[in-house]
Amino acid sequence: MSDFDFNLPQELIAQTPARPRDHARLLIYDRRNQSIKDDYFYNLEKYLPAGTTLVLNNSKVEKARLRFGSSEIFIVESINPTTVRAMIRPGKKFRVGVETDLGVLKVKTVEIDEQGLRTLSLSIPLDDMRLDNYRLTPLPPYIAQDESLSEEYQTVYARPLGSKAAPTAGLHFTSDQLEHIKKHWPVAELTLHVGLGTFAPVKAENINEHIMHHEWYGVDALAAKVINSAKHITAVGTTSARTLESLNRPFKATSGQTNIFITPGYKFKNVDALVTNFHLPKSTLLMMVGALIGSVDELHRIYSHAIANGYRFYSFGDAMLVL
């Protein structure tokens, strides 16, 4: 894991998105000649390979964070309307067998797994309107909680609710830019609901010991048809890439769970190029990008260039195109 560590100045962690969205910066890395070029996301079309098909993740972020005073429940999975798996902060009073009174909601802790996730029994259904005043957009911990950013933490093409974090590479697209792209390149949409598989930290120094959480994906018949006809695929985001690499050609309408963990040495079978953000140190996302680049040393060189040139990092940060 230490191979994927780097030092990032605090001021380069973006707290707000670029406005307009497509005015984020864009680093273009070409694997053929190991070149780095700097531009802006609104010029993405200049660098997309002729004949490529863009694949987007259209999952929509749900307000999975419930805050009751000093207590916070982050819903990771809804098992049924009144049973959920969640991360709790602070967790001390949420002990197994104990019912915790949060006012509008009473919560009984049924189980705590080895990773600290709690199975909770709720006194009212999760979709009960009485909980609406307590729901928050699950902005990542390195961004100050600010509900005014809620809409900007969704892609312009987000539809089916289910993600616990945004598929952030897609945040850079404006509706106008995407419509222009669709006139020149095929675009397919699939769904992967972002969860712990994407953002859970790697704790083992030997990354092969890391266990990925499952995430739900779905591919409809139209998307399968478009992707099957593609001679070259540009995945928009690591979640789109994970879904594509979880499937075999020919693609077909399907859904399921994936826990694929892509690290350097992996041979990509479906993804030819990738639009992505700049990721956290030691994260599975950084490892996937390193796998596509094909060299951990090159990954560090690219990130060093981005840091030296003031690129903004993480969810609301700038973008990179790996060709």
Residues whose CB is less than 8 angstroms from the CB of residue 19 and which lie 6 or more positions away in sequence, other chains included: none
pLDDT at 99: 95
What 3-state class would DSSP assign to 207? helix
Q: What is the pTM of this model?
A: 0.94
Contact of 232 with 199, CB cutoff 8 Å: no
pLDDT at 197: 63
Maximum C-alpha span of the chain: 61
φ, ψ at 81 (rounded to 5°): -55, -25
Contact of 60 with 234, CB cutoff 8 Å: no
Provide Rg for the chain, Cα atoms. Answer: 20
pLDDT at 1: 85
**Axis-axis angle for helices 238-245, 284-293 (nearest 10):** 70
Q: Span 65-136: which CATH code?
A: 2.40.10.240
Per-residue pLDDT tens digits for 151-175: 999 999 999 999 999 999 999 999 9
**Which part of the chain has CATH 3.40.1780.10?**
2-61+146-322
**Which part of the chain has CATH 2.40.10.240?**
65-136
pLDDT at 204: 73
The yes or no reply on domain 2-61+146-322 and CATH 3.40.50.1820 is: no
pLDDT at 154: 98
Percent of the chain with pLDDT strictly greater than 70? 99
Scan for tokens 């990925």, then name that residue. Answer: 212
pLDDT at 307: 98
pLDDT at 41: 98
Collect the ranges in the chain with pLDDT lower than 50. none
Amino acid at residue number 289: V
